[in-house]
Amino acid sequence: MDTAEQSWAAEVEAAAARERGEVVPPAAGDAKPEHPVRLSVQNLDLFYGDFHALKNVSIDIRDREVTSFIGPSGCGKSTLLRTLNRMNDLVKGCRIEGTIELDGEDIYQDYNVTRLRQRVGMVFQRPNPFPMSIFDNVAYGPRGMGIKSKSELEGIVEESLRRAALWDEVKDKLKSSGMGLSGGQQQRLCIARAIAVHPEVLLMDEPTSALDPISTQMVEQLALELKEHYTLVVVTHNMQQASRISDSVAFFLLGELVEHAPTEQLFATPQDQRTADYLTGRFG
Ligand SMILES: Nc1ncnc2c1ncn2[C@@H]1O[C@H](COP(=O)(O)OP(=O)(O)OP(=O)(O)O)[C@@H](O)[C@H]1O
Ligand SMILES: [Mg+2]
């Protein structure tokens, strides 16, 4: 094994140990702070053709924290979120300048995109279960990674559904179609599907905007539990939600990152007048 493979193997082992609830000590000589920077965006400009959608954005996303993106419609929240696992690669005419690093590695240089998408998962605004059974939805990613053993898949499916707080509701109908679930259940199914491949970062674009208050509360609770293991980035228009679930909040306006601060600080004492105006409803 080369060094990269070794550190990858060690990372996979550490992630698996975290899954088992074990405390993983940092590697020897590795004096990392409790929440080291996981994703680092530096001087990012993004263009859709001639349109300059993100302007010189720099932001650090920390390990095992929830970072929320807020701001008016069209300010670039989803665009930035999608750059974090290269979902914009598929958009014709989209190009970026600047760098995005995951654990210090530039994800736009020589990076295996399949591995990136396994490490950085995504949950969308509208629940989008695949037209297949609940079991197959969750087993889809692990199968794609080459896991064939029935018992191993069963274990992963159960664990993922439990972690997504859906197991009790579906354990007796795993063979039924995922499309037959309620919207809130479908969104939790999509979360289970996303975490089944053991990602390290989970991106969520307005994950509760199509859900009723009870399902919303479940997904928020889930986000708080997931951050014990994962790094979460959540786009939301709901300020109460941002204040309930996030460790830090980033406010965007017209493609610019105006301010990124610990949640309480951003809401109580915003440093930029534009943030204050947005929070008090003066625009947006
Ligand atoms: N595929 C695309 N091609 C061209 N322009 C795009 C594309 N996707 C987004 N845009 C433009 O980029 C800007 C940012 O869009 P984005 O979807 O990131 O905003 P947002 O902050 O997520 O908005 P919302 O809160 O409404 O979801 C908008 O002006 C939008 O029209
Ligand atoms: Mg959006």
Cα-to-centroid distance, 4 and ligand 2 (Å): 35
Q: Which residues of 154-172 are buried (b: 16+ CB within 10 A; e: fewer)?
A: eebbbbbbebbbbbebbee
Model pLDDT for residues 186-217, shown as the tens digit of each residue: 999 999 999 999 999 999 999 998 888 988 99
Residue 7 tokens read as 């550190």
Mean pLDDT of 233-257: 97
Which H/E stretch holds residue 142? helix 134-144
> Considering only 10-14, 20-24, 49-53, 279-283, which range has the smallest mean pLDDT?
20-24
Closest by CA to 183, choosing from 218, 142, 154, 159, is 218
Q: Are 123 and 226 in contact (CB under 8 A)?
A: no
* Amino acid code (one letter) for 194: A
User: Helix (H, G, I), strand (E, B), or coil: what is residue 274?
Assistant: helix
| pLDDT the model gives residue 211 | 83
Q: How many CB atoms lie within 10 A of CB 93?
A: 9
Cβ neighbours of residue 51 closer than 8 Å, sequence gap 6 or more:
none
Which H/E stretch holds residue 11? helix 3-19
DSSP structure class, residue 25:
P
Q: Which atom of ligand 1 is nearest to the CA of 88?
A: 1
Q: Which atom of ligand 1 is nearest to the CA of 93?
A: 3
Q: Are 237 and 210 in contact (CB under 8 A)?
A: no
DSSP structure class, residue 133:
B
Query: Residue with structure tokens 């939790």?
Result: 188
Model pLDDT for residues 52-107, shown as the tens digit of each residue: 999 999 999 999 999 999 999 999 999 999 999 999 998 999 999 999 999 999 99
| pLDDT the model gives residue 212 | 86
Strands, E assignment, the chain:
37-48, 51-62, 66-70, 94-102, 105-106, 120-123, 201-205, 231-235, 248-253, 256-262
Query: Among 46, 54, 75, which is best to mutate for testing ligand 1, by the most ligand atoms less than 8 A from CB?
Result: 75
> In percent, how much of the chain has pLDDT > 90?
78
| pLDDT the model gives residue 32 | 47
Dihedral angle sign, alpha carbons of residues 119, 127, 264, 58: positive
| pLDDT the model gives residue 27 | 47
Cα-to-centroid distance, 76 and ligand 2 (Å): 7
